[in-house]
Amino acid sequence: MNIAKNCVVAADFRLFDKAGELIDSSDSNGPLVYLHGAEQLLPALEAALDGHAIGDELMVELTPEQAFGEHDPGLVDKAPRANFPGVDHIEPGMRFQTQLPDGTPMVVTVTAVDDEWVTVDGNHELAGKDLRFELKVVAVREATAEELAHGHAHGVDGSEEH
């Protein structure tokens, strides 16, 4: 069976940055499992997988525009430490959820801290990076009616609940 809309796909993967540094892999988190055509992957990555079958191996290189966008300096901000009530220890790398003025939730990452200010970055951690995915398709099956109704895969064999 070839990968097409409404198939559940499982792929082993390794994700690298432009310098060749390993960012993530299925070795640590298990295979990538998703419902093809449900907009759960980066569009360029999903398009590259379209039509492939079990055993196929492919390498997909993505520009920032195809992946997580360019780094937006407008999403970096300094906030007074007082904006973090009840948090005694703040350090770079910590993440907090906040809201945009329109109420949309946003996760920010602390990039710097001093006695008065906390610098946070709302960009995705991979924004502005060229990425390379190395993939091997390990399973392809038709999605169940329940998966289609829920809009996501329920695991490699369809039995996991999400």
Do residues 15 and 63 both lie within one domain? yes
pLDDT for 155: 86
pLDDT band for position 160 (50/70/90)?
Answer: low
pLDDT at position 100 is 82
**Does 110 fall in a domain?**
yes
Are 51 and 97 within one domain?
Answer: no
Domain identity same for 59 and 22: yes
Residue 48, C-beta contacts closer than 8 angstroms, at least 6 positions apart:
58, 60
Full residue range of the structural domain in which residue 56 is found: 7-67+127-150
How much is the average pLDDT of 22-33? 92
Does 94 share its domain with 53?
A: no
DSSP assignment letter at 144: P
**Residue the block writes with tokens 């770079």:** 92
Instruction: Please name the residues in contact with 92: beta carbons below 8 A apart, sequence gap of 6 or more.
Output: 110, 111, 112, 113
Q: What is the CA radius of gyration of the chain?
A: 19
If asked whether residues 132 and 61 sit together in one domain, one would say yes
For residues 62 and 103, membership in a common domain is answered with no
Structural domain count of the chain: 2
- d(CA 123, CA 71) in angstroms, rounded, equals 6
Q: What are 107-129's pLDDT values in tens digits?
A: 999 999 999 999 999 999 999 99
pLDDT at 162 over 50: no
Q: 94 and 48, same structural domain?
A: no
Dihedral over Cα of 69, 75, 81, 82: its sign: negative
